């Protein structure tokens, strides 16, 4: 999203039914440095708004098909990429008309005939409002990201996992897609912390998250830190056999290259527990916590089998060793 600053000139959508006024205002606003798209009525303006985000709307009140009041109301009910500063132009200067315009969603109004310097002053005020609104939106988004992200590894945190996994579950159930989860546990991680220090342990956790990202799809798969040295990788639309392949790729990459840590390198391995739904997605009786528990049980089998391996189960199918180093 491009930041809006006071020094920039946001694009303006101009709705004016009089062709001469529309032409003159378009020329004036372009000379003032604005990008302007002009339409003849509110319906055309609303159609343009559905195709592109315009930070500023300058609209006449009296127009055929849809007037400025109805247009302002419609714009306020739309889900757009950002706030729209709406300036209403009207020949009606009675207080009740001004109140009606502002209550319809206009931010400001000008009485016709428009005095050009006053119009620019009002638009400059609108740009300041847009800049403040954008800053607030960016700050809220940043806070949202911080609230769902593990500060050390950059993976999602457990809070996000418990919010989002049920949504993935229901989506795969609705559309009949398989879903797989990988429970990952770094082998002998306590020894790394005890012998090499917690800074070295932090390095390992960070680098594991980076390596795991190499073999998951950025547009659908995601990884969350489950706790300590455990991570859960969520693979929507992924069958059990495909999940085993992903787990093995990550496992081999981790084992094949030492991790760079404070004071040197460290050889690290990882064990996986895999749980997958059937090929048509979760059945109605399957719950999210049961799937996580199944992945954890599979991980325990990998630990018993000597670590540095992947064990998996398709829900409803007995545990089976899927792959072993």
Residues 203 and 242 in one domain: yes
User: Does a cis peptide bond (omega within 30 degrees of 0) precede residue 113?
Assistant: yes
51-77: b (≥16 Cβ within 10 Å) or e: eebbbbbbbbbebeebbbbbbbebbee
Average pLDDT of the segment spanning 96-123:
88
Sheet holding 36-39, edge to edge: 36-39, 12-15, 56-60, 85-90, 108-111
Q: Quick one: pLDDT at residue 8? A: 66
Q: Show which of 108, 126, 148 is a domain's final residue.
A: 148
- Whether residues 62 and 101 share a domain: the answer is yes
* Domain of residue 18, CATH code: 3.40.50.2300
27-40 pLDDT per residue, tens:
999 999 999 999 99
**pLDDT tens digit sequence for 78-96:** 999 889 999 999 887 778 8
- pTM, two decimal places: 0.66
pLDDT, tens digit (0-9, with 9 covering 90-100), for 237-248: 999 999 999 999
Average pLDDT, the chain: 90
> So what's the pLDDT on residue 4?
43
In a domain, 7, yes or no: no
Active-site residue, 248 included: no
Contact present, 280 and 314 (Cβ < 8 Å): no
C-alpha closest to that of 233 among 301, 296, 278, 181? 181
Which domain, by its residues, includes 162? 158-324
Chain segment 162-189, per-residue pLDDT in tens: 999 999 999 999 999 999 999 999 999 9
Q: Which residues, other chains included, contact 196 with Cβ-Cβ below 8 Å and sequence gap of 6+? A: 261, 262, 263, 266
Q: Are 104 and 228 part of one and the same domain?
A: no
Task: Write down the catalytic residue from 44, 168, 229, 248.
Answer: 229
The total of structural domains in the chain comes to 2
- pLDDT value at position 91? 83
- State percent of the chain over pLDDT 90: 73
Q: Which of 185, 242, 178, 252 is nearest to 216 (CA)?
A: 242
Residues 106 and 199 both lie in one domain: no
Question: What are the pLDDT digits (tens) for 37-78?
Answer: 999 999 999 999 999 999 999 999 989 889 999 999 999 999
Q: Note whether 132 and 207 are same-domain residues.
A: no
């Amino acid at each position: 999203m491009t930041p809006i600053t006071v020094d920039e000139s946001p694009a303006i959508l101009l709705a004016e039914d009089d062709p001469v006024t529309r032409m003159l205002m378009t020329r004036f606003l372009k000379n003032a440095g604005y990008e302007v798209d002009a339409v003849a009525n509110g319906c055309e303006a609303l159609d343009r708004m559905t195709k592109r985000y315009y930070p500023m709307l300058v609209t006449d009140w009296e127009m055929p098909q849809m007037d400025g009041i109805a247009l302002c109301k419609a714009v306020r009910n739309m889900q757009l990429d950002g706030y729209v500063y709406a300036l209403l132009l009207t020949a009606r200067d009675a207080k009740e008309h001004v109140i009606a315009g502002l209550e319809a969603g206009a931010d400001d109004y000008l009485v016709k005939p428009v005095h050009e310097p006053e119009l620019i002053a009002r638009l400059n005020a609108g740009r300041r409002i847009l800049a403040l609104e954008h800053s607030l939106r960016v700050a809220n988004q940043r806070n949202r990201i911080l609230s769902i992200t593990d500060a050390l590894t950059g993976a999602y945190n457990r809070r996000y996992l418990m919010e989002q996994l049920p949504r993935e579950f229901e989506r795969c159930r609705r559309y009949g897609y398989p879903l797989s989860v990988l429970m990952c546990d770094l082998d002998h991680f306590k020894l790394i912390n005890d012998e090499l220090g917690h800074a070295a342990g932090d390095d390992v956790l960070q680098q594991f998250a980076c390596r795991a990202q190499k073999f998951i799809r950025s547009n659908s798969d995601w990884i969350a830190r489950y706790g300590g040295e455990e991570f859960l990788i969520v693979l929507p639309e992924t069958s059990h056999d495909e999940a085993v392949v992903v787990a093995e790729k990550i496992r081999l990459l981790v084992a094949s290259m030492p991790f760079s840590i404070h004071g040197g390198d460290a050889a690290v391995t990882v064990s996986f527990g895999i749980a997958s739904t059937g090929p048509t997605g979760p059945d109605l009786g399957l719950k999210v916590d049961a799937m996580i528990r199944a992945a954890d049980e599979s991980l325990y089998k990998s630990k018993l089998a000597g670590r540095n391996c992947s064990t998996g189960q398709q829900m409803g199918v007995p545990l089976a060793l899927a792959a072993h180093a």
